[in-house]
Chains A and B, each alone.
Chain A
Amino acid sequence: MVDFWQIIQNAGVELISPTTAAYALAALGLAIHFGFTGLVNFGQAGFMAIGAYGYGISTLTFGFPVWGAVLVGIGASVVFALILGVPTLRLRADYLSIVTIAASEILRLIFTTNTLEAVTGSADGLSGYKGGFAALNPFPEGTYGFGPWEMNAYDLWVRVVAWTIVILACLLAWQLIRSPWGRVIKGIREDEDAVRALGKNVYFYKMQSLILGGVFGTIAGMIFILPRAIVPANYATTLTFFIYTILLLGGAATILGPVVGSIIFWVLLSAVSGFVARAQAVGWFDFIGMSSVQAGQTRFIIVGIVLMLLVIFRPQGIFGNKKELAFVK
């Protein structure tokens, strides 16, 4: 019999997991790019990789303290955003999409190559950078929480930090979007020429938006590596496309949409793949001859189909306003 209680418990873990927080923050950054400014950034995985490797390399190779490593990551992300933005922000939207996706792949290939193994760990990636962060943990050793949310002191510390950052980022983004700056970038999304006619420097506003959303992605990359090791294969373009699915699920031009989208995405993904795996194990899918390996692959097929259906039938997402479709023409 399929153990539904176990499936629900596993899905419940995802509700507050640091991975969910990291995807929520990365999606919020993408909301600033794509939802509010209309920049089609397909390189959010690259920004996350910069956060992960910026933190990891400055800790392991250069022995930086936590705050130093965080600053290095953010600095690198600003430089990366400038490099992406300079050649493309004056061009049509699809140029930015191609350049950003190419740049994030360049980063992944550089982090994977054997030539730089001493610094990047090549395909094996990096680990052992968590000491400094764990040392800041104010919670004493012990077990916290209940039910599926039972965790040790380090896990609690990671979750507290991750979700605090997500909440602060949401507040910052909310204030920025309702400020005059936010009205300008929404204007750029709706009609770039009209904003230009009002005397605003569209190029610089786009650049600021690219940097801000990119820094959110970079910090998300740092949260993402706290419960796991840094592995270059994690930063493939599929990561960007998952973040797009989350963003469109919640609503591209909303503040809470990315957060709720991330929670729904991970809880549902865990529930669905848990159900498929268990149902396959007890033989419910024998009539189509599904193997256990195939059961694990169905989740990606489902994500792809959900992404298509969302864009076609509910482009504004769950929380979005139909009038604010958030798609550039």
Chain B
Amino acid sequence: MEVTGLSDKRWLRVLVALFATLLIALTFSGGLSASADSINEDSEWQIKGNVKNDGVPLDGVLITVSGNGFSGEVATDAEGKWAVGVPEGGKYTVTLDESTLPEGVIVTDKEGNVIEPTRDVEFGATKTALSNYFLGVGVREVTSFTDQLVQRLFTGLSFGLLLALASVGLSLIFGTTGLNNFAHAEMVTFGALATLTLAVDMAWPLWAALIGAVILSGVFGFALDAGLWKPLRKKGVGLIPMMIVSIGLSLALRYLYQYLYGGSTRQLPGADGAELKFGAISLSPVDILSMAISIVAVLGVGFFLTRTRLGKATRAVSDNVSLAAASGIDVDRVIRIVWVIGGALAGLSGILFAFYRPGVSWDMGFGILLLIFAAVTLGGLGTAFGAVVGSIIVGLFIEISTLWIPSDMKYVGALVILILVLLVRPQGILGRKERIG
């Protein structure tokens, strides 16, 4: 019996792994299709054109037409001609794939000035629209794969670090109280919104607004604990009901933010800094400052947890509440401090995220909530250092994966990894086996 049980389990695991592979293959295979010189010839509405280099037609240049929910790809014929039938009139985007042009040739206007290979085409009085391409000698600056990789590494690291700030807070709260706090996303948003209010609406200088927002976020964390979570713990509400309370809180807060701040995205001052070039990577001063702040904050939390008395007490509570209480640690005080630290870190993470995106909106935190959960689970639920490691992995993975998969699918990769890791090592990277119960 035991043997068949095991093989069943293994078989199911293979099934899951196969599915995941399929999923990844599916995302990679997009955009591959055979190309004719014309498609949908019987459609009334036609977009046509030709591609010539100095009067000589070019064969096999890829042209993409998209718009109004339609998308089609053709290659030019021997005369340099192409035609795409579209379902209806209106505006379409035509793109010439420059990688299919001969070396040293790029898209220009009639006068030979270098222009973008993407243009808008609109139907006029007739049902045929023309879009001719002129080419000229020139070289478009193409970023090499290594340069792109290095650039993504840096953005990924920067994203991972700001994610780490939120994850550490969530992980500390989980470790000390056992609560899966879904409203953590709203604590992230709170930091960004507080900065917006202080820096823009009240016109404080940016540095004062940032410090003020982080302090307010800490106060917010304290208020949540004092006003809601502590009474619930005293009432003896279970962990799963508390998790659902946090979902309700998350919904109510999120739409309260939308109520108060509206649905639009607003910018913080200083978000549009000039880009500095460091070899292959271009970074703005804000990026560098943001990374520096994250690293200092993470190191600060590390110092607090390993070197200070209170930090050691926090780890003790995280490890075993009853034992910690028995050895004279004031558990309530530790939890209160964890909420303040968690709130301040989440707020700081929200501020940095507002510069990273860039922009402040009412649901920005909710958008990365699952990534925070993924990072915490990946690193090991309840371990603060695991959360840092998990966040950096998630951040790097998301940014680097966009080299191959479409950017609107970049979060999918991170979530698939989360499920796969649970399959192989459920306790996470730094978690201990007995924690998973």
Inter-chain contact B409/A113, CB cutoff 8 Å: yes
B323 CB–A CB distance under 8 Å: no
The number of chain A residues with a CB under 8 A from chain B is: 56
Q: Which residues of B contact A307 (CB under 8 A)?
A: 244-245, 247-248, 251
Interface centre among B30, B180, B422 (most CB of A within 10 A): B422
Interface of A is mostly: helix
A303 within 8 A of B: yes
User: Which one of B216-224, B281-289, B339-347, B373-381 is at the interface?
Assistant: B373-381
How far, in Å, is B52 (CB) from chain A's closest CB? 31
B114 proximal to A (CB < 8 A) = no
Q: Evaluate contact between B412 and A109: CB separation under 8 angstroms.
A: yes
Segment 192-247 of A: residues with Cβ below 8 Å from B = 238, 241, 244-245
Give the contacting residue for B259; candidates A97, A106, A118, A301; CB below 8 A: A301
A225 to B421, CA, bound (A): 34
Scoring B30, B237, B244, B377 by chain A CB atoms within 10 A of each residue's CB, the highest score goes to B244
Q: List 22 A-B contacts (CB under 8 A).
A: A87-B13, A93-B240, A95-B426, A98-B180, A98-B374, A101-B373, A102-B373, A105-B415, A109-B412, A114-B408, A115-B31, A115-B408, A124-B69, A294-B259, A301-B252, A304-B249, A304-B250, A305-B248, A308-B245, A311-B237, A327-B238, A328-B238
> Cβ of A40: which chain B residues have Cβ within 8 Å of it?
240, 243
Chain B residues in 8 Å Cβ range of A315: 241
- Chain B minimum-CB-distance residue to A240: B247
Q: Does A300 contact B (CB under 8 A)?
A: yes
Q: In this complex, which of A116, A124, A306, A312 has the most chain B Cβ atoms within 10 angstroms of its Cβ?
A: A312
A117 vs B416: C-alpha distance in the bound complex, in angstroms? 21
Q: Name the contact of B247 in the complex, choosing from A110, A244, A300 (C-beta under 8 A).
A: A244
Q: Which residues from A are CB-within-8-Å of B373?
A: 98, 101-102
Which of A87, A110, A294 has the largest count of B CB atoms less than 10 A from its CB? A87
Q: How far is the CA of A143 from the CA of B238 in the complex (A)?
A: 51
Instruction: Tell me whether A103 is interfacial, beta carbon within 8 Å.
Output: yes
Residue of A nearest to B28 (CB): A115
Contact with B along A294-325 (1 / 0, CB 8 A): 10011011011111110110010000000000
Q: How far is the CA of A40 from the CA of B246 in the complex (A)?
A: 14
> Given contacts A99-B419, A101-B370, A115-B27, is CB(A94)–CB(B243) below 8 Å?
yes
B241: contacting residue among A82, A99, A103, A327, CB under 8 A:
A327
A115 in contact with B258 (CB, 8 Å): no
**CB-based contact A88/B422 at 8 Å:** yes
Tell yes or no: A248 within 8 A of B by CB.
Answer: yes
Closest 6 CB pairs of A and B: A304-B252, A304-B251, A307-B248, A115-B30, A308-B248, A300-B255
> Does B388 interact with chain A (Cβ within 8 Å)?
no
B437 an interface residue at 8 Å Cβ cutoff? yes
Query: Roughly how many angstroms separate A92 CA and B180 CA in the complex, as a whole number?
Result: 13
Q: Which of B234-274 contact A (CB under 8 A)?
A: 235, 237-241, 243-245, 247-256, 258-259, 262-263
Judge whether A102 and B374 touch: CB under 8 Å: yes
A102 and B406 in contact (CB under 8 A), knowing A93-B240, A301-B256, A304-B249? no
Return the contact of B13 from the options A86, A244, A248 (Cβ within 8 A). Answer: A86
Closest to B427 in A: A91
Q: What residues on A are CB-neighbors of B374 within 8 Å?
A: 98, 102
Q: Is B19 at the interface (CB under 8 A from chain A)?
A: yes
Q: Which residues of A contact B105 (CB under 8 A)?
A: none
| Alpha-carbon distance A81/B341, docked complex (angstroms) | 38
Question: Which residue of chain B is the closest to A329 with respect to CB atoms?
Answer: B238
CA–CA, A97 and B241, complex, Å: 13
* Given pairs A102-B418, A106-B416, 20 additional interface contacts (CB within 8 A): A86-B12, A91-B426, A95-B436, A99-B422, A102-B370, A105-B415, A110-B23, A113-B409, A115-B31, A115-B406, A115-B408, A238-B251, A244-B244, A297-B255, A301-B259, A303-B248, A304-B251, A307-B251, A311-B244, A315-B241
Contact A304 B248 (CB under 8 A): yes
Q: How many angstroms between the C-alpha atoms of A182 and B345 in the bound complex? A: 45
A83, A97, A110, A117: the one within 8 Å of B16 (CB): A83
A19 is an interface residue with CB less than 8 A from chain B? no
Is B226 positioned at the interface, with any CB of A under 8 Å from its CB? Answer: no
Cβ of A280: which chain B residues have Cβ within 8 Å of it? none
Name which of B12, B255, B377, B406 has the most chain A CB atoms within 10 A of its CB. Answer: B255
Nearest B residue to A102 via CB reads B415
Of B9, B30, B252, B256, which one neighbours A308 at CB under 8 angstroms? B252
Smallest distance from the beta carbon of A176 to chain B beta carbons, Å? 23
Chain A residues with Cβ below 8 Å from B256 are 301
Q: Which residues of B contact A95 (CB under 8 A)?
A: 377, 422, 426, 436
A254 interfacial contact with B, CB 8 Å: no
- The distance in angstroms between the C-alpha atoms of A99 and B248, with both chains bound, is 20
- Determine the residue in chain B with the shortest Cβ distance to A290: B259
The answer, among A91, A122, A306, A328, for a CB contact under 8 Å with B436, is A91
Q: Which of A83, A106, A114, A312 contacts B232 (CB 8 A)?
A: A312
Residues in chain A near residue B239, CB distance under 8 A: 94, 329
Indicate if the CB atoms of A115 and B248 lie closer than 8 Å: no
A58 within 8 A of B: no
Question: Is A112 interfacial (CB 8 A cutoff)?
Answer: yes
User: Which A residues from 251 to 281 make CB contacts under 8 A with B?
Assistant: none
